[in-house]
Structure 1
Amino acid sequence: MSLLAKWQTRHWQPLTAGQYEEAYQQWGGSFITHPEVIGVVSSLLDTPLEFSGRYQDDQLIAAIPVWENYVAGSKQALKKLGKRGLVDTGNAEIILPIAENAQLELPYKAELISNLHESQLTNLKDKDKQLCLAKGFQLGGYSKKFKYNHRRELRLFQEAGGELHPISELSADQICEFYLTLFELRWGFAAKGASLMGELLSRLQKYLVGSVLYFDKRPVAIQLVYQAESEKWLSVEYINGGVDPSVKEFSPGSVLSFLNVQEAQEMADKQNKQMRYSFGLADNEYKDRWCNRVSVYST
């Protein structure tokens, strides 16, 4: 660490993995900052993971997973450390374990920091980047027409012989095979992080949620959707998906998105938590039908 970085972090102290996990459970976080998730990603990338804490009056008020002088898991860190594209965790929203009423400067670099931290982190920079968070099924969410149209798509798919099964029924190897095959069928090139995908899915399988669509007993649509729970919200990251173009007449990608968002909403409602279901960066107009745009920040 440079002298400048050491000076900037002078009020921060090393934490153990156990202390970080306690902070996450107390104050929450997102999928990418979940203790087990960032541990797995760091291991696969062969990148040393450390934890740093900010104290005030001898009380911990913030805990950060760290790669060198970056927030671990951030896209900026992956790029600067030469690890970009090796694993695919999407353009994940960064929510950090920070005490609700804390105000502090974050001395570690990161992008896509959640707007939940607007009043907590004093050195956030607005670089006009936005994430797309699903509107959901609560009041003010999807319109009656939107829900009717997508339920109709689902009904037509099922009437034609289509089936849907929980992704939890599949092994990690099956998920990997189906995803890589359907992704390449849809896009014409290999999925990001393909070489480490099997290992990533095997170690993070319990965080995968959603359904897989079948037609004529073969998988035709799959999405990688990860979910991590916090005290007040569910952090859901829709990474990417694959679709067999031969059944495009049934809009399987749209059907699957509807099913997966609906499942997450039902779980959030059951647990009385906010749903933060991210479709990633606001980089495609189709996402505006599904999502509201929210600002994210850098340091």
Structure 2
Amino acid sequence: MSTFADTEALSTVRDLVRWGASRFAEAGLHFGHGTDNALDEAYFLTLHALHLPFDLPAVYLESAVTTRERDAVLRLLRLRVSSRKPAAYLIGRIRFAGLEFEVDERVLIPRSPIGELIERGFEPWLQQAPARVLDLCAGSGCIGIATAAVFEYAEVDLAEIDAAALTVCRRNIALHGVGERVRAVRSDVYDGLGEARYELIVANPPYVPVAEWRALQPEYRHEPRMALAAGDDGMDVVARILHGAVDRLQPGGVLICEVGGSVDEFETRWPRLPVTWIEFDRGGDGVFTIGREALKEAL
């Protein structure tokens, strides 16, 4: 196995990115928290350490780095290998739906394909802009805050059971200056929301079966277990979302919920539920939508 010695020959930004990608591949790191390969992960970490924008023009990759800059990059790249922390936690921020959010190990790293839906205003699933939106199992608040950015008159509730995660939610509300319309609420699914009702409920709940969670790569162990694992089939929280949604949606309202790789488990529990599985242009799956009236009739 290669060591971290003999790095004095690394003189440019491109050299550092290449070196980092090689070491990541050599160490067998896992990617899936904003990037899906060693090269992109090394690129983002290198540019962060150099205080450069991630959309850096390619010509600057040939720029020479100082000894101090090289050492800063190498420290961060080495930390990625030794800690197995995803890059987003090492950087402390990540982009989602065109916006930047603060993240740390109190919250799941934003990566949901729901971001693509947000960017297109949830078309064609919404017929008009919603007045009130609920982001269930909000974590960092990225889904609800990004939705508020698209629907500039909507009031958005970020519902999250974990007090530590709510702290991150509130930091992101402040970061984006949406405190007049967006509130973070400590709520166990719907228990904590009073009598509020919504035109749109968006949920990215925990949906990983416990046995699968135990077998996940080390990178996932840095994320809160309660944001990932949910019972033997992963559907414990999803069941509560479904069975309470009718009373929380306004007439004509829509539920959009992610179950990721647990589609089979979902369909085993609810084989006749008339959900529509959403297709994405940029990849990702396991997100369904269903209207209030169809849900009421089926359950």
Q: What is the TM-score normalised by the length of structure 1?
A: 0.29
Q: Per residue, is there more strand in 1 or in 2? A: 1
Q: What is the TM-score normalised by the length of structure 2?
A: 0.29
Larger relative contact order (C-alpha < 8 A, sep ≥ 6)?
A: 1
